[in-house]
């Protein structure tokens, strides 16, 4: 039962955050059923990420209470608690259901999302009249409104998040193939097909942060097992690197074209400066979680960049230091640093697929966070915490043998 619910989550997660949350409820139900009916027990002792997560949450609560009386801060805090709950749930679930079967269903979900993104881009690129009619038709439908045709592959989510998700999926496929070769296993044709679809979707997402993060992840894979995946690594670089210069460009923001004075770089720079000034004025606890948008107008004239205000600094580290201050920034480093350390330690001990995948992905995510706040987006932090919990549980249950 737990394996089935994990499979459902794997298919749903890249496509729908609502579907993924429903699957998590089913996972939790299956866990309690296994405990009550089958007598299976679980233990939450020894989870390496528990203290960093609680520290991050407690600092956020203090910052929100002291700086804003919880005004505008309940949303970020709720997401933090959901992050913690998901960590516990996935740690228990993967402890009960060891093995790599969920990866096959997760790859199917990634591949379906990639196909949707490629279809959207292809419709916009080659059948613009049909694309216009399609977009007009779906604009009145809530169910299909996420599948509009555009010059950036995006699946059912924002192109930036989609690119980051495809980056995670691509690194997973490469890590899987590397470890399979390390074990002398036969090549699996489905990994080639899935890899092509995912890599193409990543390239056409038009998300430079995701491309750069993916290249960082490739460097991690190359540093660990270069001789086992030279062809794939060079092929991925050949596909991704030209996108920096010739890839699809996104010339509109918030429904309006950007002027020459509002280039993407200038917008990011203005957001970063505002975040830094917020930190200088509130260095200990920041302005409070979720309060960047409320304070932005104090540090920069609005409207700006086609939006009435900005609630995202487009830099995880500056966003954190602005909203949660020095204490929150240290808590974030404690959390992310623990993830990196545990992934590296687990890979050195186990040489496992999951630890190699997570090690490459966390390196990519840390780099992406220089231009985005990806870790604060549910579509990114949910699979990140699930993969970490899976890696940790698999190593503990099987003693590093996969």
Torsions phi, psi of 255, nearest 5?
85, 0
**What pLDDT score was predicted for residue 182?**
85
The DSSP secondary structure of 9-37, one letter per residue, reads HHHHTTT-HHHHHHHHHHHHHHHHHHHHH
pTM for the complete prediction?
A: 0.91
Q: How confident is the model at residue 285 (pLDDT cuts 50, 70, 90)?
A: very high
* Rg of the chain, C-alpha, whole Å: 21
- Summarised one tens digit per residue, pLDDT across range 22-55 is 999 999 999 888 877 666 676 777 899 999 999 9
Q: Which of 34, 50, 146, 141 is nearest to 94 (CA)?
A: 34
Question: For the segment 214-271, what is each residue's pLDDT rounded down to a tens digit?
Answer: 999 999 998 887 777 777 778 787 877 777 666 554 433 333 344 445 577 788 898 9
What H or E segment, with its residue span, contains residue 256?
Answer: strand 256-257
Place of tokens 């390390």: 182
Token readout for 351 is 């040489």
Cβ neighbors of 10 (< 8 A, separation 6 or more) are 102, 103, 104, 105, 106, 107, 108, 109
Residue 257: the pLDDT is 41
Question: Could you tell me the sign of the dihedral formed by the alpha carbons of 58, 62, 68, 70, in that order?
Answer: positive
pLDDT digits (tens, 9 = 90+) for 13-24: 999 999 999 999
Q: What CA–CA distance (Å, rounded) separates 379 from 128?
A: 29
Residues facing 252 on adjacent strands: 257
**Helices (H), ranges, 204-315:** 208-225, 230-240, 243-246, 264-281, 292-299
Count CB neighbours of 4 within 10 A.
Answer: 13
Which string of b and e fits 376-393 if b means at least 16 CB within 10 Å?
A: bbbbbbbbbbbbbbbbbb
Residue 257, phi then psi, degrees to nearest 5: -70, 140
Among 90-104, 130-144, 336-350, the range of highest mean pLDDT: 336-350
Contact between 102 and 3 (Cβ < 8 Å) = yes
Q: Which residues pair with 304 in a beta bridge?
A: 307
pLDDT digits over 125-167, tens only? 889 888 888 888 887 777 778 888 988 999 999 999 999 999 9
Cis peptide before 373, with omega less than 30 degrees from 0?
no
3-state helix, strand, coil in the chain (%, to 5): 70, 0, 25
φ, ψ dihedrals at 141, nearest 5° = -110, 120
């Amino acid at each position: 039962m737990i394996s089935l619910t994990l499979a459902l989550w794997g298919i749903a997660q890249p496509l729908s955050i609502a579907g993924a949350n429903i699957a998590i409820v089913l996972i939790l139900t299956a866990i309690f059923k296994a405990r009550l009916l089958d007598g299976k027990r679980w233990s939450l002792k020894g989870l390496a990420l528990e203290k960093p997560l609680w520290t991050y949450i407690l600092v956020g609560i203090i910052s929100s209470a002291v700086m804003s009386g919880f005004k505008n801060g309940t949303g970020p805090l709720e997401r933090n608690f959901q992050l913690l709950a998901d960590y516990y749930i996935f740690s228990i679930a993967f402890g009960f259901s060891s093995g790599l079967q969920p990866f096959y269903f997760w790859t199917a979900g990634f591949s379906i999302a990639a196909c949707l993104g490629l279809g959207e881009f292809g419709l916009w690129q080659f059948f613009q009249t049909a694309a216009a009619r399609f977009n007009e038709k779906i604009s009145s439908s809530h169910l299909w409104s996420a599948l509009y045709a555009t010059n950036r592959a995006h699946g059912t989510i924002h192109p930036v998040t989609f690119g980051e998700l495809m980056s995670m999926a691509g690194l997973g496929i490469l890590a899987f193939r590397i470890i399979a070769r390390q074990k002398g296993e036969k090549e699996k044709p489905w990994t080639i097909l899935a890899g092509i679809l995912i890599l193409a979707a990543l390239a056409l997402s038009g998300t430079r942060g995701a491309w750069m993060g993916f290249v960082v992840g490739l460097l991690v894979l190359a540093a660990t097992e270069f001789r086992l995946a030279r062809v794939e690594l060079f092929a991925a670089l050949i596909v991704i690197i030209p996108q920096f210069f010739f890839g699809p460009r996104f010339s509109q923001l918030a429904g309006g074209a950007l002027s020459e004075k509002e280039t993407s770089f200038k917008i990011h720079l203005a957001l970063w400066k505002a975040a830094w000034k917020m930190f200088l004025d509130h260095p200990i606890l920041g302005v409070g979680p979720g309060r960047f948008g409320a304070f932005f107008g104090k540090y920069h004239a609005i409207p700006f960049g086609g939006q009435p205000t900005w609630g995202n600094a487009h830099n995880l580290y500056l966003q954190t230091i602005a909203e949660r201050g020095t204490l929150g920034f240290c808590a974030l480093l404690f959390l992310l640093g623990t993830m990196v350390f545990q992934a590296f330690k687990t890979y050195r001990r186990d040489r496992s697929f999951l630890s190699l995948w997570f090690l490459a992905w966390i390196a990519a995510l840390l780099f992406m966070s220089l231009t985005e706040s990806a870790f604060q987006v549910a579509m990114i932090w949910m699979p990140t915490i699930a993969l970490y919990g899976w890696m940790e549980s698999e190593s503990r249950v099987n003693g590093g043998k996969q």
